[in-house]
Homo-oligomer: A and B are copies of this chain.
């Protein structure tokens, strides 16, 4: 990627982090004025939000703002940075629901509070305390995301337009999350259903809606069905699906030192991904039986994971998913070059597309 673009992406990331740092410091002052027992809550959320994260949603919001032909001010970046708090809620609750132990190489929030319970020799059951803390820290992050957006300092018009998109985005997120959780209860894998989940969880929530959010903050008078938002959807939805497909590949083939998740995590969890649905469709009967026996077994060894990877690759599903990613990326990049998008924004959108699909974590 172009050095200049890499540096502008890094600058947005730093600005987002700076706004979050400032917001969280204010909230720490307030919460600890209520009770010192809230210090671990502040510590955990600061650690979660300031140490890592790709800042994808604020970056796409930034790109959407640029697509409308304007450059975000600090105020606008503050509003967009609030998306990181919403994402913190989604991840904290997700890890709890999946029973995942780690996130970005550190203990998941429920595990962290479980440890605090044990270290403090507190009364009751550590796991129950950890789960309750994860529910509440997620809720608090969700409420904070709203509070940060409301108080960013946007004009009335921009805020109203932002809230409309933001509300739709959050409803879509929760619907997508429920469908994802429910999918794990289905007897059979389904490419079609998994693609629909990818569309809601990644296409809309991660990419399309952040783009729209940035665009309407920049230009609140535009119609929700106007040309700019439509073109941003044409860029964002296929890119979001491609992003999720890359995630599927990383969930099975990713390097744990880079992803911060255990090797073959999706196999141990039996995650209903598009990749696995395609694999099962294409597999020979004996290969399918082998996979079905082992998927969702949390005690799979590293060696067994390696064997399952080979089976999956040999079905041709990996190559097909890679081809699908390429096709979606091309579709997305063509939309990025539409004349409805400000010329300055186009290289930025293309660079973000590359970083979303050519990533190792």
A residues bordering B, Cβ < 8 Å?
27, 30-31, 34-35, 37-38, 41, 89, 93, 96-97, 99, 117, 120, 122-124, 128-129, 131-133, 135-140, 142-144, 146-147, 150-151, 156, 160, 163-164, 167, 170-172, 174-175, 177-179, 181-182, 184-187, 196, 200, 296
Contacts and interface: CB of A to CB of B under 8 A. Distances in A.
Indicate how many identical chains form the complex. 2
B167 A31 contact: no
Contact of A156 (B38, B139, B156): B156
A125 B140 CA distance: 28
Contacts of A41: 175, 178
B38 A124 contact: no
A124 B184 contact: yes
Contacts of A35: 175, 179, 196
A99 B127 CA distance: 12
Given A139-B142, A147-B171, A167-B146, A129 B178 contact: no
A120 B185 contact: yes
A167 B150 contact: yes
Contacts of A123: 184-187
B122 A99 contact: no
A160 B151 CA distance: 10
A50 to B, nearest CB: 19
Contacts of A139: 89, 93, 138-139, 142, 174, 177
A160 B167 CA distance: 16
Contacts of A146: 146, 167, 170
